[in-house]
Every structure is written in C-alpha cells, then in structure tokens.
Homo-oligomer: A and B are copies of this chain.
C-alpha cells in the first residue's frame, strides 16, 4: 500500500495513509487488491466494506452483517432482482450479438423506451456506459453545430473519457478541463433564496455564451445533470433550468440533459428534465438502465443527430447487445409492475419530511432538499461554511451502523441519499433513526 501523501482521495473514503483498525481479512483483501488493480482505484469508507451478496435493498458483508443500501442507483429495481436474472439468462442462452445484424428485441425495446420521452426525442443510439453516451453527445452536438464550446456547471461530473472528464471539474484540480469549456457557478440553493436561483444562473450563462462567441469557439451545447448531483443535488425551485436552455438555443447551441443520475423514475417522474418542463435536444441515459448489466444510451431528436449520422458511422460493439437489451427491458417491466416511480415519490417525500424534522433540531444542518429518492442534507459549521468533516464523519458513522450512503457537493458537505427505488417506508424509518443516532454521537 505504498502511496504518496499527495494521493487524491475521497473525503469519506479509505485513506491508506490513515491509521485505521481494519480486521485482518479486510486488510489482506486490500493488500491483494493493491497488488493487481490500477493505482487510480479508490475504496468507499474509512473502513471499506467487503461485500458477498445482495438482495433488494440489502447488501451482505463478508463480515456477516447486513447493510441497508441507501446509496446505489444502479440496482434500481433492487439487488439480484429475479426478473433481471431470468431475462438476461434466457437471452444469454439464445443469442448475444451486435447491431450490424437485424435483431428484433433492440427495436422493440427502443420503441418502448422512446415512448417514455416527449415525442420530439425519437431516436436512440446505444452505448455501454454513461461516459460513452456523454462522449457521443458531445461528438454529435459538435458535428451538428460546427461549434466547439460547451457550457457546464462548476462542479459537474459527466464521466471518465477524455471528453467526458474534460467536462467534469468535480474530478479535481489534477484533471484538465477540455479546451473551449466554460463553467457556470454551482447553484448553491442552500444559501441563495429560491426566487434568485434562476436569475443567478441566467447571468452566468449569458456571460459563458459571450465568452465562447468572443473566443471563436461558438456555442455547441449546455450540458446539465438534470438533478445537479455532483453540485450537491440542487432541485428547487422546479423549473429553474428552463431559462438557461432558452438562452443557449438562442445562441444556436443544443441542450444536452444528463439523465444518468435522475433518470428511470428516481425523481418520481421518468426523466429529471420533466421537473424543469424542458425538452432536451439530446439526453444521456446510463447507470440504472440495465440494473447493473452495462447499457447506456443517447436519446435525441432526429434533427440533432442527422448530420452526424449521415457523415459518420457509429458502431459500439457491445452497445445494444441483446442481453443488455433484455435486462433493460426487464427493468422497465419491474418499474411499471412494482410502481417504482410512485414508490420513489412517496418514500422520497417521507424521507424528505424526516430529514427536515431532524434538521430543524440540529443547528449543524444548513439545508435539506431532494426530489423523489435522491436527497441531500447539507452541513455547515458555526460560521456557515461547508462542513465536509462532519459529512464524512456521518457517512462513516452510518456505515458503521449498517446504512450505506455517501457525500456530495462542491465541498462534499452534503449527505447523498440515493437508494434503489424499491426502498420502502420501513427502510426509510431505519435510515432516519440511524441518522439521528449518528448525529447525536457526533456532537
């Protein structure tokens, strides 16, 4: 575990230089891991969790403990859901090939997926990861507009390819942003009055557009995570993104909605942009799409994709393969059959109310917010400054008490609560009770 002090790590994560009392089995596994995995891997939690199995909202540790999963958005219908296993298994035993042959399931799924979008979004291209879909959105938008410039949020995260990392300032100061990328300030809804949020962002976007036009890069697109997750989960007042998109459209640019985090029902609606009454030109889907079997997509208007499609053939070997499509189709089945959008809205409201109640009694809590099953509780110190240390203590305290969450935001001072959509009211009560207990213990 040789590392230098300069090694970038997550505030709530494992730090190999810190003296932590790990059990011998965990320590041995970490040492074995460090000998073979690339040095840019990181582990969650001061004391990492070794996992053996999962079921629904539960992860079973190698320590024999059950952990309540209030963090993972990929297993959207729950860990090891039998419908996903059955669908993938049946397809694996039948056919797994690519989109340069004709296969029916990819067409049927596309029809079904597009039906959840506004009519204007009528074409879908499959990738394997959200990063690839973001990257393809950038390629497509640049080709469509002939421009280079991109407008992003100050603490955005959009992925890991060169182009996606180039619009992901949340990766830290060592990660270079791309050329022709202009940031607008993270909207700090904990500190800005709701009626000023849209105006603040509008001023920033106007200035970004001017900067891109003056530099000669021109405006390709504004790309925004519809729930601004890495900017701290910023949701109120609903609709505040709409005026920004108007400005970008007036400047000849496109609007790319990054739906990797809010999409597939998490906010209680199918897509996060619905909260802002927007229709994107391009929308990027990812994480929950196949409940963990890699699949992601770029959905968009035919118009925005036409020029790219005529000039360049795009082929993603595994993108839209029949097995990933079968899993994705089963995910839509379960979301509908188990009414998970409704569940996200209802249990989300219950969590929000509970978090607000806890926050009202604790002066370290600056702000509580959320939409559906994506919630944040932000901490500040006595001077009102972001309290990252407290957030990291709470995240790790919750882990020790058997509840898995994380931290978010520019200063990582907000708890990030983002469970599988099968999280029920009993799970919510357990989370709230545990949080109260952990908050008391950190006084």
By the criterion CB–CB under 8 Å, are A162 and B160 in contact? Answer: no
Instruction: Decide if A80 touches B96 in the complex (CB within 8 Å).
Output: yes
Report the contact-size class of chain A (Cβ under 8 Å from the partner). 35 or more
Do B4 and A41 have beta carbons less than 8 Å apart? no
Residues of B within 8 A of A59 (CB): 95, 97, 101
Q: Using A33-B107, A80-B93 as known contacts, say yes or no to A38 and B171 having CB atoms under 8 A apart.
A: no
Instruction: Tell whether, in the assembled complex, residue A41 and residue B99 are in contact, meaning their CB atoms are under 8 Å apart.
Output: yes
CA separation between A172 and B278, bound complex, in Å? 36
CB-based contact B101/A160 at 8 Å: no
Segment of A267-275, A298-306, A428-436 in the binding face: A298-306
Contact A92 B85 (CB under 8 A): yes
Instruction: Check A8 against B95 for contact (C-beta < 8 Å).
Output: no
Contact of A93 among B85, B130, B298 (CB under 8 A): B85
Please, which residues of chain B bring their CB within 8 A of the CB of A318?
74, 128-129, 292-294
- How many angstroms between the C-alpha atoms of A139 and B176 in the bound complex? 10
A43→B287 contact, CB < 8 A: no
Contact yes or no, A51 B292, CB < 8 A: no
Given A135-B161, A163-B162; A294-B172 close (CB under 8 Å): no
Tell me the A25-41 residues at the B interface (CB within 8 Å). 26, 29-30, 32-33, 35-41
Q: Is the CB of A310 within 8 A of B4?
A: yes
Contact A75 B94 (CB under 8 A): no
Is A88 at the interface (CB under 8 A from chain B)?
yes
Known: A52-B95, A102-B26, A161-B161. A110 touches B36 (CB 8 A): yes
Whether the pair B310, A3 counts as a contact (CB closer than 8 A) is yes
Q: Give residues of chain A (233-263) contacting chain B, Cβ–Cβ below 8 Å.
A: none
Contact of A309 among B38, B62, B75 (CB under 8 A): B38
Could you tell me if B298 and A38 are in contact, using CB atoms closer than 8 angstroms?
A: yes
Asked whether B53 lies within 8 Å of A292 as measured between CB atoms, the reply is no
How far apart sit A294 and B175, CA to CA, in the bound complex (Å)?
Answer: 26
Given the complex of chains A and B, what is the CA–CA distance between A316 and B319 in angstroms? Answer: 16
- Complexed CA–CA distance, A131 and B318 (Å): 11
Please give the distance in Å from A312's CB to the nearest CB on chain B.
5
Q: Inside 8 A of A175's CB, which chain B residues have their CB?
A: 311-312
Bound-complex Cα distance A287 to B33 (A):
24
CA distance A439 to B254 in the complex (A): 50
By a beta-carbon cutoff of 8 Å, the part of chain A in contact with chain B is: 3-4, 6-10, 13, 26, 29-30, 32-33, 35-44, 48-54, 59, 62, 72, 74-75, 79-80, 82, 84-85, 88-89, 92-104, 106-107, 110-111, 114, 122-125, 127-132, 135-136, 138-139, 160-163, 165, 171-172, 174-175, 286-287, 291-295, 298, 300, 302, 305-306, 308-319, 321, 323-324
Name 7 A/B residue pairs within 8 A (Cβ), A-sorted. Answer: A10-B313, A26-B102, A30-B102, A41-B315, A53-B95, A54-B97, A129-B316
